[in-house]
Chains A and B, each alone.
Chain A
Amino acid sequence: MSLFTTIRDKLLNVAQGVGEMLALLCETVYYFKEAPRNLASIFRQMSIIGIGTLPIAMLVALFVGMVLSVQTGSELANYGSQEAIGAIVGISMVKELGPVMTSLLVAGRIGSAMAAEVGAMQVYEEIDALKTLEINPVRYLAMPRLIACLFSVPALVAFATVVGILGGGIVADINPQIDVPFSVYYDNMVRALSYKEIFKGLLKAMIFGGIIAHVGCYVGFKTSGGARGIGESTTRSVVLSFLLIMVANYLLTRIMM
């Protein structure tokens, strides 16, 4: 096979994948109208995504906030401007670290589980069974997961951001190198943050949540080849989610500037 044929086939595969993903997204969004009678399923997914991920998301955010504070605060202290640490940690957590870090965590923990679950259903004929029962698999499986992620990920990000900021504040207060009282840290942070910035962070989180659910379901629906195929789908969903979150993060940051 020539290099040209290989490149052509790869490009065709990518174009086909993008087309299929867009078609699935349109179908999933179309079934949003069926959400009221799928509330139980949506709440179940929200519980898995939100409550299940909350402890680890908060723990990670706490340490990220602490590390950010200790590293940046020490540097700022060299120039005597350590009081700005509240604003720096606040803006970093709200605009970037909170949404991106939490979304990557959810993609690794929940997106892969979604791909594995839907993939197993595909491999073990459960999706075919749904079709013969005249139940649309996109409405039954993808729609509740997408809606749940759209709401759960911003909620998780909000909690994680607060915990991260608190962690940063505690370190700034107790670390003798930085030595910024919590009240000063808090005042600086509040002055630097606006509702608009918070809204932008949560909007990013919502879009990242949508990416995670959509990729998990798409990869799940495309699974074939038994246990090995399920394993490959799990990996593929994580890689694709990470990639799309990073690309979307750049584009959203650029648009929202």
Chain B
Amino acid sequence: MRLSASNLACHRGGREVFAGVSFTVASGEVLAVTGRNGAGKSSLLRTVVGLLRIAQGSLTLEGGNPELTIAEQAHYLGHQDALKPSLSVAENLEFWTGFLGRKAADVAAALAAVGLDSLAGLPAAYLSAGQRRRLSIARLFAVKRSIWLLDEPMSTLDAAAQDRLGGLMRAHLAEGGFILAATHGPLGIEATRELRLGEVGSALAQPSASSPWSAETKAS
């Protein structure tokens, strides 16, 4: 399985976020998308799963299921955790495993994998930021999909949870999946290649200190 992008560009709000981005990821590989805030890391991931329109360039997946789109074969872990505060931890995960389909592990096993099994009955409203993150990571474990698109997966996780996620990612790679991760820090996986955004797209000006908007126009 192999995902390749050539000369990809993305526009948001009439402004170019990135352009001329090309990369290839194949089974067993991790591509870390790095770059300063606003370089378009999140936008790149959202473009890959079709949540943003491709302004230019193309995206091809070889070796996947030809009847499904990239988004339908991918797990997308965004900034937001996609959890409902009034549902319990187990109910939240049950919903996503039911909705995403093709269960790989039952809910209890997936919760155990992220260390939340003792909180299964607790409403998600009472979870801390790191626990919420772990609950949404449990989704990756519970439903098998070979493409993982992770947006800052390590943020808010403590050291133990980061190790655990590293373990999940290594197991995923060993099973022939691949990972595209927007990140600022190390992912804890040796064979990580890096795609630096912000230097490829020449149109991306560095935020000037004089403009109060430029630094926060699009948080990555």
Q: Specify whether A and B are partners.
A: no
Chain B residues within 8 Å of A, Cβ to Cβ: none
Chain A residues within 8 Å of B, Cβ to Cβ: none
